[in-house]
């Protein structure tokens, strides 16, 4: 009986915590791209945690668009940043010092409930980018329902 209770308790605890995903903040990716989050697009489940790792100095992460009811976020420079994503929808984020260089990323949490807001925001955000143009659109193609 004790083993059964212990197993049930462990199952409940493991369901309370989501999966962890890591995003590296890079000057250069292994395939030669500059100023990039790796990966640039993530699809995760509600309750999952994304860990942003500044593998090279001079980077941080800041939200540009979040789903309704979600809290905006911003890390300190060169800080490993943990973000628990509880609200379904699409999150757009940038590295503030390198936004103009196309250091941008997208996370879809569950359903893309704020899809219209994202479709309106991406062209405006793309206009700020001076190098590595097209990343917003390339990543957005992975969002469920974006191309429809």
- Residues at the binding site are 59, 95, 98, 103
Q: How far apart are CA 87 and CA 73, in angstroms?
A: 13
Q: Give the strand pairing for 48-54 and 34-38.
A: unpaired
- List CB contacts of 113: < 8 A, sequence separation 6 or more: 67, 68, 88, 89
| H or E stretch covering 50 | strand 48-54
Q: How far apart are CA 58 and CA 115, in angstroms?
A: 31
As annotated, the binding site for Cu cation includes: 59, 95, 98, 103
Nearest partner of 139 among 32, 37, 52, 40, judged by Cα: 40
Q: Transcribe 91-117 into DSSP letters.
A: EEEE-GGGGGGT-EEEEEESS-TTHHH
């Amino acid at each position: 009986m004790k083993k059964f209770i212990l197993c049930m308790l462990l199952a409940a605890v493991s369901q309370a915590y989501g999966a962890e995903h890591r995003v590296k903040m890079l000057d250069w990716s292994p395939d030669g791209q500059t100023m990039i989050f790796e990966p640039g697009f993530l699809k995760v489940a509600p309750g999952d945690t994304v860990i942003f790792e500044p593998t090279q100095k001079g980077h941080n992460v800041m939200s540009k668009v979040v789903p309704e009811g979600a809290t905006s976020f911003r890390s300190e420079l060169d800080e490993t940043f943990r973000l628990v994503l509880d609200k379904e929808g699409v999150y757009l984020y940038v590295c503030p010092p390198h936004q103009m260089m196309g250091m941008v990323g997208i996370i879809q949490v569950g359903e893309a409930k704020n899809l219209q807001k994202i479709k309106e925001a991406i062209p405006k955000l793309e206009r700020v980018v001076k190098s590595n143009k097209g990343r917003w659109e390339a990543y957005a193609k992975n969002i469920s329902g974006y191309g429809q």
